[in-house]
Each structure stands twice: as C-alpha cells, then as structure tokens.
Amino acid sequence: MLSDDELNKFFANYNDRGMKKWQGFYLSDHTIKWAKQDKERNTIIEILPQQSEEEIGQILFNSFSSGLTVIVQENNLDLEGKIPCEIDGNVLGYNEESVMVNETKVKLDNIRNVRTVGDRSV
C-alpha cells in the first residue's frame, strides 16, 4: 500500500495523455465509417441541368421496366450551395407524386436530373 506522500509525489509528476490512451480502442467499424463520412463530405457533386418532367418520366419508366440502375439528383442544396448527395439504385415503383429508388422515396417534382448507370450524357 502506498502512503499519502508517495501518492502525492506520483500525481504531482503524472502526465495524463487524455484521449490518446483510448486510441487503441477504436474498432475497425468506427474507422471505416469515419473514412466513408470524410469521403462523402469531401466529394463534390456536379450540379446537372434540370430535365423536363417528360424526360425524367421516360428515364424512370425505362429503368423500371428493364431493371436498370438509376442515379437521381434532387433539387436540394446544402448551405454552401452544393448537392449533398445523389440517390442511386433500382426503381422499385412509382406513382403520380413519387418514385421509390431502393429504400428512398423521392418526390417527382423535386428531381433535378436522372440518368442510368453508365450513361454519361446529361
């Protein structure tokens, strides 16, 4: 057992490394998630031209009927005036107001641009 003097002497010279000592406890899942978030945050998405309702409808219908993957760009901009993300996946269904792209419901009047994967024309 240490005396009070020994404990006081130890803590007088003790240098706590703070959070550095916990660095080894980060799981690979955490670091992968952080790397993905950094990549998404630093990716600049080109704002594509506004397509007509007819053009958007035709591409979505063709994708739905043939099972092609689409990339949907919405009219949403972040505070910096950039497109925060694009939605990609298969068109699972649609109605007069919205379309389901994988698990995401997108309002048709909020779509800026839609293209099939591999299609470089805008």
**What are the pLDDT digits (tens) for 71-121?**
999 998 888 888 888 999 999 998 989 999 999 999 999 999 999 986 555
Same domain, 72 and 100: yes
pTM, rounded to two decimals? 0.62
Same domain, 88 and 63: yes
Q: Which residue has the tokens 């945050």?
A: 41
pLDDT at 104: 92
Domain count, the chain: 2
Token couple for 27: 């799981």
pLDDT at 7: 79
Strand-strand pairing, 98-101 and 111-116: unpaired
Q: How far apart are CA 30 and CA 57, in angstroms?
A: 40
Same domain, 16 and 37: yes
Same domain, 18 and 68: no
Is 47 a domain residue?
Answer: no
Find out whether 114 and 56 touch, Cβ atoms under 8 Å.
yes
pLDDT at 13: 82
The mean pLDDT of 25-46, rounded to a whole number, is: 77
Phi, psi of 77, deg, nearest 5: -120, 150
Is 33 a domain residue?
Answer: yes
| Range of the structural domain that residue 9 is part of | 4-42
Same domain, 58 and 108: yes
Same domain, 8 and 28: yes
